Amino acid sequence: MKWIALLALLVLTPILASVFRDNRRYLLWGAFAIGLLPFLIDPLNLNADLIAWPDWPGAVRGIEITLLDAVAIAVLSASRHRTRTPLSMKLALGVYVAGFLISTLVTPVKWPAVFYGWQLLKAVLVYFAVARGGATEARFAPNVISGAIAGLLLQAGVATAQYLGGTAQAGGLLGHQNLLGMAAHFALYPAFALFLAGFYTNRTGLGVISGLAVAFTGGSRATIGLMVLGLALTVALSLWCRVTSRKLALATSTAAILLIASPVFFAAVERRPMAAREESNQLRASMVRAARMIIADHPLGVGANRYVIVANTGGYSSRAGVPWNYDNRRAPVHNTYYLTAAEMGWLGLLGVISLIASMVVIGVATVRKIERRLESEMIVGLTVSVLVVSIHMLYEWIIMLSSLHYLLAMNCGLIVGIRAYAQSNANIRQLRKNRTHLPSSIAVE
């Protein structure tokens, strides 16, 4: 069956590419699919495994091709605009890849690292597809965001149904509240930024409501706290970009609503017993101790996707006091930065921090340079998404999963693509302006 699915994806890719090239309207549907599919690939099994290690205790369990890969390749081939990736991003990604390669060379078991390398390659593919699409077509980026909002809306509906059915911490179709909470960051803040500025108010308003519903039904402490922070940062950056009466009114209303609703969200956190929360804190602390031991013994890293095996077989989890049960010993350290340093060494950690920092700097620097309001407001939300996710990574490792790798790559590609599109249009407008002011003798020539 998997080979039939794989063949179908291989046949579908050139067909989609031809359709996208011949009709720009369908290219926009491709953009919508890119935003939507990360929320659906795993729940609906929209993938085919070339190699599968289903029992492997790492984040990546084989080499797979997904429907999103096919759409990304098709969009990339249909988008003729050559987009330059900023130098800071290239250097950061280069450092990260160097850390990955070095750690892979020194690890005795290389297949798990190869699995992660394949996943990283697919994320880069999505980045280039979104960056080129965003630089080619004005409506491409809004459609990607609309797709992400649709995915979040679907997940919020399922999570709400689960909560009403008695689930204390609903995870939607993604299965876990922490995974759904982090995925929500990528759709919520772009939606909120556009809603503040008055763009696509119906769909973006639904996106904001969906994000808050996910936070409440999931009851995750980190998700709830970071969503409040993210909404506040979106307001601040949006006002810094451009002050309007609508933004001021909605910012005040949002603050009042969140203040009034704070007891509701506090009650959502309280659904999880105090003893369970304290046990979770102790577990996280013990995992961090284990990760520190691994980093001290393996400064070059133990190899991507191998943390759990090394932590257990090397005795690190035992010495750090990680409780002995299946769930605890099978989970990586709940901190992406410690996980990256343990698996890909100090070089890998430097790469991931540099990549996040470069995206935030590029986003903030671009916001006020863009004259077009729609593009600037999208970048506001996308930049806040990167920043909030980078903070959430202090408490979770799940960004290493393929769906969140896709979303992060999509986010970065949107920032670069929107920036390129805005700069291209600014250059065209300046050229036209210069031509209108040329002396008549030169204009005739």
pLDDT at 392: 96
Q: How far apart are CA 424 and CA 61, in angstroms?
A: 41
Give one DSSP letter per residue of 178-228, joined into a string: HHHHHHHHHHHHHHHHHHHHTSSHHHHHHHHHHHHHHHHHH--HHHHHHHH
Span 162-205, pLDDT tens digits:
999 989 899 999 999 999 999 999 999 999 999 999 999 999 99
Q: How far apart are CA 384 and CA 334, in angstroms?
A: 22
pTM, two decimal places: 0.92
Q: Please list the rounded mean pLDDT of every run of 10 residues in the chain (445 residues).
A: 65 84 87 96 90 93 94 89 88 97 95 97 96 92 97 97 92 93 97 95 96 92 92 94 91 89 79 76 92 96 96 94 86 96 97 97 89 88 97 95 96 95 64 47 36
Is residue 78 within 8 Å of residue 27, measured between CB atoms? yes
pLDDT at 72: 95
pLDDT at 431: 43
pLDDT at 2: 58
Q: Where are the domains of the chain?
A: 2-277+322-436
If you count DSSP H runs as helices and E runs as strands, how many of each does the chain have, helices first?
19, 2
Show Cβ contacts of residue 30 under 8 Å, excluding neighbours closer than 6 positions. 16, 20, 71, 74, 75, 78, 133
Show Cβ contacts of residue 432 under 8 Å, excluding neighbours closer than 6 positions. none
pLDDT at 437: 47
Q: How far apart are CA 52 and CA 63, in angstroms?
A: 7
